[in-house]
Amino acid sequence: MTKIYLDNAATTPLRNEVVNTMIETLQNDFGNPSSTHSFGRSAKTIIETSRKTIAKYLVCQAQELLFTSSATEATNWILRSAVKDLGVAKIITSSIEHHATLYTIQSLEKEFNIEVVYIPILPNGTLDYMVLEKEIETSSVKTLVSLMHVNNETGVILNIEQVGTWCANSKVLFHCDTVQSIGKVSFDLQSIPVDFIVASAHKFHGPKGVGFAYIKKNIVLQPFIFGGEQEKGLRAGTEATHQIAGMAKALELAYIHLEHERSYITMLKEYALEKLKTNFPEVKVNGSDTFYNILNVLLPFSEEKTAFILFNLDIKGIAVSRGSACQSGSIKPSHVLEAFLSENDLKKPSLRISFSHYNTKEEIDLFIEALQVI
C-alpha cells in the first residue's frame, strides 16, 4: 500500500543530510560539552557553531539564542519568567493559540492573579486587529502580548511586523510562537520588533526533542530548569549535541532551498484546493489568506461520515489531521475552529492538509480519490 503523508504541520520527515549529520555527531562527538578535555571541547564547538548558523539565518546575535527541548518548553519558560521575574501583570493573547501558550497563561492567571485579555476572532479566522491595537495602546500595567505567527490548524497569518510595532511603541513585551513559520519564511530579527520567538526543529525537517528560544538582548530571564551551568546557566541539563547539530543543519537547508520549495509547495496547495472544489463544490476553506503549506477545509459530508473520516483515510495509508496532533485523540471540536465556525459547521468534518516539498500532485490525486469513496 502506498503511504501518503499530508500532516506536515504536525511533524516533518527528516532530510537525509540531517540524519547523516546526526549520525556523524553521535559517532564522533559523544563527549560531554561541559567537559574541558578535547572530547568535550569538540562537542562544545559543534553546539556553538550550530548556534551561529541559526543566528545567521534569523539575523540575530548567537547569544540571543538558547537551546531547549521544544518550543513548548521555551514558551512555558518565557511566559512564566515574564510574570515572575519581569513583573508582567497583564497578558494579551487569543483563544486560538497553541495549548502550550493557552494552558501556561491559564496557570499563571490562577497562580499570580494576572489579567488576561483574549482578542476576539473574526469569522474569517483572523484576530480583530482594531481591538488588539486598542488593548496594547491603553494598557496601564506591565504587559506582554503572546500571539502565534502562523496558526497551526488554519494557517492564518499574524501581521507580526504590525503587532510588533504597536508593542514597541507602547513598551509592551511581545512573545511570538513562530513554530509553523521558522524555516518556511525569511526572518530578520534585527528589524522585526519582537522580544521572544520559539521554534521546534521537527517542524522544519529536523529531529524531535530539540528547539530554541530567541530572547532579545538585554532581556534577562531567570532559569526554568535548575542544575548545571549549560546555556549560560539558564537551561540546565547536558546538551544533546547531535540533536542541536541536526537542527542547525535542517534550518540551514530550509533556507538554502526556501524559494524553490516555497514555490513548489504553494503550487501543491493550489492544486489540492482546485481538485477539492472540482470534486466537492460545497467545500469551504477555514480561514483567509492562509500560510502556503496549510490548507484547512470544511467538507460537505454527513455527520455519519465525519466520525470515521480520519480512520477511513488512515486505512488507505493517507495521513491528514482534523486539528493539532497534540489533541487529535480528543472527541472535542478544535478550539481553534470553535472560535469562529458556526455550531452547524463544527459538526461537519474539517481536515487540515499540510504539505512539504516531499509531496507530489499524484499523492493529492490519490487523496481526492479516497475522499470520494468515503
Residue corresponding to grid cell 529536523: 206
Write out pLDDT tens, residues 259-300: 999 999 999 999 999 999 999 999 999 999 999 999 999 999
Are 4-12+257-372 and 16-256 the same fold in CATH?
no
Instruction: Identify the CA nearest to 209 among candidates 356, 67, 7.
Output: 67
CA distance 328 to 305: 17
Please indicate whether residue 326 is annotated as part of the active site: yes
Write out pLDDT tens, residues 237-262: 999 999 999 999 999 999 999 999 99
> Can you list the positions of beta strands (E) in 217-367?
284-285, 294-298, 318-319, 350-354
Average pLDDT value for residue range 148-158: 98
Q: For the structural domain made of 4-12+257-372, what CATH number should be given?
A: 3.90.1150.10
Is the domain spanning 16-256 CATH 3.10.20.30? The answer is no
Catalytic one among 60, 167, 176, 326?
326
Q: How far is CA 139 from the centre of its chain?
A: 28
What residue spans define the domains of the chain? 4-12+257-372, 16-256
CA distance 333 to 84: 33
| Alpha carbons within 13 A on the beta-carbon side of 325 | 12
∠ CA 270-200-263 to the nearest 5 degrees?
25
Instruction: Please give the pLDDT value at position 327.
Output: 46
Q: Model's pTM, two decimal places?
A: 0.95
Write out pLDDT tens, residues 1-52: 789 999 999 999 999 999 999 999 999 999 999 999 999 999 999 999 999 9
Query: What is the sign, positive or negative, of the torsion defined by CA atoms of 6, 8, 11, 14?
Result: positive
Average pLDDT value for residue range 163-168: 98
Q: What is the DSSP letter of 149?
A: S
The three cell numbers locating residue 288: 483567509
**β-strand 90-94 against 115-119: which pairing, if any?**
parallel
For residue 236, give every residue at least 6 positions away whose Cβ sits within 8 Å of its Cβ, in sequence order, or none: 223, 225, 226, 227, 228, 229, 230
The three cell numbers locating residue 371: 475522499
